[in-house]
Amino acid sequence: MPELPEVETVRRGLVKLIKNKTIKKVKVIYPKIITGDVGQFEQQLHGKSIQSIGRRGKLLLFNFDQGLTMISHLRMEGKYFVKSSLEPLEKHTHVIFEFVDGSQLRYNDVRKFGRMQLIKTQQVKEVPNLAKLGPEPLDNQFLLVDFIQKLAGKKKAIKPVLLDQTVVAGLGNIYADEVLWLSKIHPLTPANKLSPAQISLLRQQIIKELTAAVAAGGTTIRSYTDAFEHSGKFQFDLHVYGRQGQPCQRCGTEIVKIRVAQRGTHFCPNCQRVTK
């Protein structure tokens, strides 16, 4: 499930594989992937070349010439592959970007949850989804004072607050559980009950963990691969996610899985206590 480190790994792969390539033809096989008019999407990209590929939170930003940007969200299972047009299509390929050199960028998504949207580059910041996004945790924008202030106004459990992309961008279910374990914070702790020291530690662990996960090429749990079809390596560094029933690596207590805000949530009931 692509969270920030996986999306960043995909981005880096795509930069190596398709930067500066020019599109000959775009074919949308499954229209629902595209937000907006599908015919326009295909036509507007004709002849455009990829100037750069950026990322904001979990969103990929493909910047084309002539002021055009494609925003792409992989949601749960979206993947990009780069193949020769001669190679047979993989199952679950929904959008094909054919380049003038005969290679293709293929968007593959088993669950069809991912979304793409074409927009003028100057309007990118106005897209509601992106405009509301919280600070980028690895960009020196994620300031402690802001984080403390944000959490002070939230009475709900810290776990869903970490998943709220307007608080900080890029965390998903896996890393949320991991940073809470690293910070010894119970996922049900009301966000406004955390001490400044706890919030400071939590912020540091978020930055450290995401940095380490990017360096490891992300986490492959079920199906994630990067644009080279390589799995990540960070799943070997997980401490709680998917480890219910196994001993906590810090204290030996059995890791427990509960449901918090309808999400599977893993934690150590001994190390992680609720602050009252």
Partner DNA sequence: TTTCTTGTTTTCAG
Partner DNA sequence: ACTGAAAACAAGAA
Tell me which residues touch DNA (CB under 7 A): 1, 3, 32, 57-58, 73, 75-76, 110-113, 128-129, 153-157, 160, 163, 165, 172-174, 261-264
Spatial CB neighbours of 204, under 8 Å, sequence gap ≥ 6: none
CB of 169 to DNA, least distance (A): 8
Which residue among the candidates 11, 56, 58, 115 is catalytic per the annotation? Answer: 58
Round to whole Å and give the CA distance between 250 and 145.
Answer: 30
Nearest CA-CA partner of 201 in 212, 187, 185: 185
Under 8 Å between Cβ of 21 and 101: yes
**Distances from the Cα of 274 to the Cα of 172, 176, 180, 186, angstroms:** 21, 16, 11, 5
**Closer residue to DNA, CB minimum distance, 103 or 109:** 109
Residue 218 sits at φ, ψ, to 5 deg, of: 85, -175
Encoded tokens for 41: 């999407």
Which residue among the candidates 12, 75, 263, 269 is catalytic per the annotation? Answer: 263
Q: Is 2 a catalytic residue?
A: yes
Which residue among the candidates 2, 5, 137, 187 is catalytic per the annotation? Answer: 2
CB of 20 to DNA, least distance (A): 28
**Closer residue to DNA, CB minimum distance, 27 or 111:** 111
Q: Is 6 a catalytic residue?
A: no
CB of 160 to DNA, least distance (A): 6
**Closer residue to DNA, CB minimum distance, 103 or 173:** 173
- List residues with catalytic annotation: 2-3, 58, 263
